[in-house]
């Protein structure tokens, strides 16, 4: 095995939203900063990345526009030793052909979407030989147990959190100092039919509710016991600060969902909706995995379009959810993080 950290090409095709770019950047950055890898991120649409990481051009990852069509000549193919295709985005055929011309075939991974479903552990790490070329792709599945690829968590996460100053955060965004009976909530969701009902419940709540909506352009307003604040879309690193500043976080998709778990506070997940309700088994699988899943289930299902939303019932459960959420976060943090596991997986195959 060589002692020089490998070079790595990550390919990211942005489907919609921020999630694909968010995950690819997080992984790319960790491979570069924590493992010393030389990483290029090929992305077909830079717009989400600009919002997530305004200064991405300054490093530590080399971000390149993914040209379509991929030129058959002229584009440096300096033979990355590891090639990561995110979310089955399909590498350019010319790039794949060029992989066979290298003196040694690269370690080629397909980084999959996160799911708590039980089949994931059986598929994690499986090889998929190319039907025609002498290349093998491996499936790399993130996940919640040690039989999967784990979750993205930066080595400096705890240190960043220890430095977090909630008072300064609130002042920066024009929020009043915390009052003891108030509940502060962050809200990041897809279009959601249950939202008007939830707003009504918050407005009539016996306890003051302060809701922070990042990336929302609506005018901030107060109605009854609800104060709604629109916040700017925060840079990715600062999104954690918002989660730390809140008692309850509404999150969505994949990456914010993982960050809410690291925050170790009660949260509500809106899963990325798929045709024919294909997302519901994934939601159920996570609820079955989580130690507080039974308590979370009615409200989470309602937030995902199944059944009636009952805010008062969920709010009454929040104090009892704090401990299991914190414990779950600690359990997950005690397992190898995705970037470290992926590095080991690749180094074993580069020996």
- Is residue 256 a contact point for ligand TRH (CB under 6 A)? yes
* Rg over CA atoms, the chain: 21
Minimum CB separation of residue 216 from ligand TRH in Å reads 9
Active site residue 20: yes
Catalytic annotation, pick one of 81, 240, 254, 337: 254
- Is residue 52 a contact point for ligand TRH (CB under 6 A)? yes
- Is residue 144 a contact point for ligand TRH (CB under 6 A)? no
Residue in 252, 260, 267, 286 binding ligand TRH, rule: CB under 6 A: 252
d(CA 250, CA 220): 18
Locate 286 and state its tokens.
């996570």
Q: For residue 114, what are the CA distances in angstroms to 15, 73, 255, 300? A: 16, 35, 9, 18
Nearer to ligand TRH, 256 or 304 (CB): 256
* Per rule CB under 6 A, count of chain residues that contact ligand TRH: 23
- Is residue 113 a contact point for ligand TRH (CB under 6 A)? yes
Number of other residues whose CB lies within 10 A of the CB of residue 193 = 9
Minimum CB separation of residue 69 from ligand TRH in Å reads 24
Cα-Cα-Cα-Cα dihedral sign, residues 134, 140, 145, 150: positive
Minimum CB separation of residue 19 from ligand TRH in Å reads 2
Enumerate residues 152-171 that contact ligand TRH by CB under 6 A: none
Enumerate residues 9-28 that contact ligand TRH by CB under 6 A: 15-20, 22
Q: Which residue is nearest to ligand TRH (CB)?
A: 19
Nearer to ligand TRH, 54 or 221 (CB): 54
d(CA 182, CA 174): 16
- Is residue 214 a contact point for ligand TRH (CB under 6 A)? yes
- Is residue 254 a contact point for ligand TRH (CB under 6 A)? yes
Nearer to ligand TRH, 215 or 319 (CB): 215
Active site residue 16: no
DSSP codes joined into one string, 192-214: -TTHHHHHHHHHT-SS-EEEEEE
Pairing state between β 267-270 and 82-86: unpaired
User: To 10 degrees, the CA torsion angle through 127, 91, 104, 23?
Assistant: -70
Question: Of the candidates 100, 75, 134, 118, which has an alpha carbon nearest to the alpha carbon of residue 281?
Answer: 118
Q: Is the peptide bond before 120 cis (omega within 30 degrees of 0)?
A: no
Enumerate residues 264-293 that contact ligand TRH by CB under 6 A: 272
Question: Of the candidates 110, 127, 128, 111, which has an alpha carbon nearest to the alpha carbon of residue 255?
Answer: 111
| Helix, strand or coil, per DSSP, at residue 338 | helix
**Interface map 220-249 toward ligand TRH (x if CB under 6 A):** -------------xx-x--x----------
Write down the residue that tokens 């003891």 correspond to. Answer: 180
Nearer to ligand TRH, 3 or 58 (CB): 58
Residue ranges in contact with ligand TRH by CB under 6 A: 15-20, 22, 52, 113, 188, 214-215, 233-234, 236, 239, 252-257, 272
């Amino acid at each position: 095995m060589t002692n020089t950290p490998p070079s790595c090409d990550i390919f990211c095709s942005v489907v919609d939203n921020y999630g694909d770019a968010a995950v690819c950047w997080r992984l790319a950055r960790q491979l570069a900063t924590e493992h010393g890898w030389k990483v290029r991120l090929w992305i077909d649409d830079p717009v989400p990345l600009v919002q997530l990481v305004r200064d991405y051009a300054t490093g530590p990852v080399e971000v390149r526009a993914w040209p379509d069509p991929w030129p058959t000549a002229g584009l440096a193919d300096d033979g990355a030793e590891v090639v990561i295709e995110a979310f089955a985005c399909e590498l350019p055929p010319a790039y794949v052909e060029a992989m066979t011309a290298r003196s040694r075939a690269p370690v080629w991974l397909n980084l999959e979407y996160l799911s708590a479903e039980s089949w994931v552990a059986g598929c994690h790490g499986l090889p998929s030989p190319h039907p025609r070329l002498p290349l093998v792709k491996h499936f790399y599945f993130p996940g919640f147990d040690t039989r999967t690829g784990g979750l993205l968590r930066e080595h400096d996460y705890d240190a960043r959190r220890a430095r977090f100053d909630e008072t300064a955060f609130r002042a920066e965004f024009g929020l009043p100092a915390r009052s003891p009976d108030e509940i502060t909530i962050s809200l990041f969701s897809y279009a959601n039919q249950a939202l008007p009902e939830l707003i009504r419940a918050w407005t009539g709540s016996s306890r003051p509710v302060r809701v922070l909506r990042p990336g929302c352009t609506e005018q901030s307003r107060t109605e009854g016991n609800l104060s709604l604040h629109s916040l700017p879309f925060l840079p990715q690193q600062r999104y954690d600060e918002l989660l730390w500043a809140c008692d309850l976080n509404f999150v969505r998709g994949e990456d914010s969902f993982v960050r809410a778990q690291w925050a170790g506070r009660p949260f509500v997940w809106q899963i990325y909706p798929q045709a024919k309700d294909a997302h519901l088994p994934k939601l159920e699988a996570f609820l079955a995995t989580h130690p507080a899943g039974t308590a979370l289930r009615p409200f989470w299902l309602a937030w995902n379009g199944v059944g009636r939303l009952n805010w008062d019932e969920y709010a009454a459960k929040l104090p009892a959810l704090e401990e299991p959420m914190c414990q779950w976060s600690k359990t997950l943090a005690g397992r190898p993080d995705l970037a470290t596991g992926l590095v080991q997986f690749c180094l074993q195959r580069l020996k």
